[in-house]
Structure 1
Amino acid sequence: MIVVNVKENESIDRALKRFKKKFERTKVLRQIRGRAYYTKPSVVTRTSKLKAAYKQKLYAEQNF
């Protein structure tokens, strides 16, 4: 559970911004979106391999 202590004379906007950052760091929303539908393990491995190949290609082009 995320707890954000509001300090004295602190605006609600500032406290809300800190809450949003903490929430984003926990990666809860990413997990929820990932579980919205089922992806087969073979599809997951294929996409991760394609991502890795793409990143490697970009890295190789950048270093020349």
Structure 2
Amino acid sequence: MLIIPLKEGENIERALKRYKRKFDKTGTRKSLYGRKQFTKPSIEKRAQIQKAQYVQRLKDQESI
């Protein structure tokens, strides 16, 4: 369970935004969606390769 301490006089929207950011960083949602439906290991590997290629392209464009 995530605990977000409220600071003195902090806006509730700001605290909610911190909670959402922290929740995304933990990867909980991603793991839940991953368990929802089975994906073959070959498809997972292909997705990882495509993501790595995309990131590499971004880094190459940035260096130019």
When normalised by structure 2's length, the TM-score is 0.68
SS across alignment from 1:2: coil
Deviations 1:30-57 (A, max 9, x none): 11111110012233223434x145666x
**Residue segments in structure 1 that go unaligned for 5+ positions in a row:** none
**Residue segments in structure 2 that go unaligned for 5+ positions in a row:** none
What residue number does 2:23 align with? 23
Q: Which of the two has higher C-alpha Rg? A: 1
Aligned residues: 61
Bigger helix fraction: 2
Runs of 4+ in 1 over 3 A off after TM superposition: 46-49, 52-56, 61-64
What residue number does 2:33 align with? 33
When normalised by structure 1's length, the TM-score is 0.68
Instruction: Indicate yes or no: 2:45 matched with 1:45.
Output: yes
Identity of aligned residues (%): 41
Calculate the aligned-residue CA RMSD, in Å. 2.4
